[in-house]
Amino acid sequence: MRVTFTVNGRRAEADDVWEGESLLYVLRERVGLPGSKNACEQGECGSCTVYLDDVPVCSCLVAAGQVQDREVRTVEGLADGDELDPVQACFIKAGAVQCGFCTPGLLVQAHALIEHNPAPTDPEIREALAGNLCRCTGYEKILDAVREAAAIKAGVA
């Protein structure tokens, strides 16, 4: 089947999509957007998180056919051209990026949190990121990055 959808503001088409193929596979292998990572394929780790119609989802759990005529935004779509989103810039500044495998999902989830709650408390940040696993950073630098990004977006930093 052919799947047509919008990804990061551009129309995308994928041909010969098998009905059981995941959105993650289509993004990485058919559309050429490798930012979202394939770690668990069970929706447990969060490394494949993308926006689907402005709602964060684990793209490994979304059947490709479900995105027909819908909007997808990946980690690659957070930046505005060459200008990183504050969440992306703060992750770099805080040293919240180590191996990078969990980073795309954390960035999308943190971005979604700040969009819906511009001044999240630490417990709210922890809850929002609870579905994203990281084995390298110990999470403290991730929390620092999210706090800083929220302050920048709120105009406080």
Question: What per-residue confidence (pLDDT) applies to 37?
Answer: 97
**Distance of alpha carbon 10 from alpha carbon 101, whole angstroms:** 25
As its CATH architecture, domain 86-153 has Orthogonal Bundle (1.10)
**Mean pLDDT rounded to a whole number for the chain:** 96
Would the pLDDT of 157 be above 80? no
Quote the pTM value: 0.95
Q: Which CATH class is domain 3-74?
A: alpha beta
> How many other CB atoms are found less than 10 A from the CB of residue 117?
13
Q: How confident is the model at residue 138 (pLDDT cuts 50, 70, 90)?
A: confident
Mean per-residue pLDDT, 91-101: 93
**Distance of alpha carbon 72 from alpha carbon 6, whole angstroms:** 6
- Domain residue spans of the chain: 3-74, 86-153
pLDDT digits (tens, 9 = 90+) for 27-62: 999 999 999 999 999 999 999 999 999 999 999 999
- For residue 119, the cross-strand partners are none
